[in-house]
């Protein structure tokens, strides 16, 4: 089976309902590395339910009410073994409650055929809504690079253009360590892929050891922006968009370089120990 443009664009995704508790919000923050310093009271508000201003991390919606690994379903026509998570975006409409029941609705918003042997791009969008209030909490956008599906006969554009980083030196640099067990903690927030836990599966996939989830790396960069640009006030964090460029191994230090221009934050992240860029073309909005 090959990808079918009309079928994928019209694909129906059932609404997903998910309830989460304050413990889930804390677990997500711990997976990103918050609380590493037990005396840091600014981080404590995300990992201790009795702390003043207890709140969920503003980027936690990336793990809520998702459709699962839907490209693996046979009727998708996608060569799922060869897909990569290329880009991720997030726009926050209202602060995420520390505990709630949310509804997620996913749709395919675009397909780009890059040509035979060059792969295809699948653009999708998910809205996350508070079931009790009906409030739209977040809109998530994602680009999947389907490396094995070029030449299916779809359109060759338009493609999303990456955010261009400033040419000057960064205004701030934030180094955040990850724990060697970070992937084992983060996977409990909703991504049980054994690639992030099993040494054998990781070796079979060509990695020397289990790798960190891409969305966890995104979360660490979001933490850096929350720290450097928002003084840990989650209500000031409004959006984030980036490209994934390389994996991180748990235990490595993620360095996020930040440029601030009024309310627009440009950023990129690298691994200090290997001098490898892992996130690029990042753009966030803060107030």
Percent of the chain with pLDDT over 70: 100
Q: Which helix H or strand E contains 159, and what residues bound it?
A: none
Predicted confidence (pLDDT) per residue in 107-122, tens digit? 999 999 999 999 999 9
Residues 285, 96: Cα–Cα separation, whole Å:
16
Is the distance from CB of 254 to CB of 271 less than 8 angstroms?
yes
Residue 264 to residues 130, 215, 260, 261, Cα–Cα distance (Å): 27, 21, 6, 5
pLDDT score at 153: 95
Predicted confidence (pLDDT) per residue in 184-241, tens digit? 999 999 999 999 999 999 999 899 999 999 999 999 999 999 999 999 999 999 999 9
Residue 39 to residues 25, 42, 44, 175, 233, Cα–Cα distance (Å): 20, 9, 8, 18, 18
Ordered by where they begin, the domains of the chain are: 5-146 (3.10.129.10), 172-286 (3.10.129.10)
pLDDT score at 1: 73
For residues 6-30, average pLDDT: 98
Residue 81 to residues 73, 149, 199, Cα–Cα distance (Å): 11, 11, 18
pLDDT score at 257: 98
Residues 143, 122: Cα–Cα separation, whole Å:
6
Predicted confidence (pLDDT) per residue in 47-89, tens digit? 999 999 999 999 999 999 999 999 999 999 999 989 999 999 9
Contacts of 200 (CB under 8 A, 6+ apart): none
DSSP string, 49-60: TTSTT----TTG
Which residue reads 């006030």 in tokens?
Answer: 233
pLDDT score at 2: 87
In this predicted structure, the answer to whether residue 4 has a pLDDT above a threshold of 80 is yes
Report the candidate in 189, 149, 150 with the shortest Cα–Cα distance to residue 65. Answer: 189
């Amino acid at each position: 089976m090959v990808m079918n443009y009309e079928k994928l664009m019209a694909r129906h995704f059932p609404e997903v309902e998910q309830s989460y508790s304050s413990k889930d919000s804390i677990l997500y923050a711990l997976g990103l590395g918050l609380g590493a310093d037990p005396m840091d009271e600014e981080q404590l508000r995300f990992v201790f339910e009795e702390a003043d201003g207890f709140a969920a991390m503003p980027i936690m919606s990336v793990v809520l009410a998702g459709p699962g690994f839907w490209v693996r379903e046979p009727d998708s026509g996608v060569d799922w073994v060869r897909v990569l998570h290329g880009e991720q975006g997030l726009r926050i409409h209202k602060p995420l409650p520390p505990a709630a029941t949310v509804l997620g609705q996913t749709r395919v918003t675009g397909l780009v055929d890059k040509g035979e042997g060059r792969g295809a791009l699948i653009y999708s969008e998910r809205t996350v809504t508070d079931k009790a209030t009906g409030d739209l909490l977040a809109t998530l956008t994602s680009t999947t690079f389907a490396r094995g599906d070029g030449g299916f006969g779809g359109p060759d554009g338009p493609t999303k253009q990456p955010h261009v980083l400033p040419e000057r030196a960064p205004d701030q640099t934030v180094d955040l360590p990850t724990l060697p067990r970070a992937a084992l903690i983060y996977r409990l927030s909703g991504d049980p892929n054994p690639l992030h836990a099993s040494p054998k599966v990781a070796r079979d996939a060509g990695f020397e050891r289990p790798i960190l989830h891409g969305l966890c790396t995104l979360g660490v960069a979001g933490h850096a922006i929350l720290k450097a640009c928002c003084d840990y006030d989650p209500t000031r964090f409004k959006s984030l968009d980036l490209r994934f460029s390389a994996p991180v191994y748990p235990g490595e230090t993620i360095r996020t370089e930040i440029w601030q221009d009024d309310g627009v934050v440009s950023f990129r992240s690298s691994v200090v120990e290997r001098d490898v860029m892992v996130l690029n073309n990042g753009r966030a909005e803060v107030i």
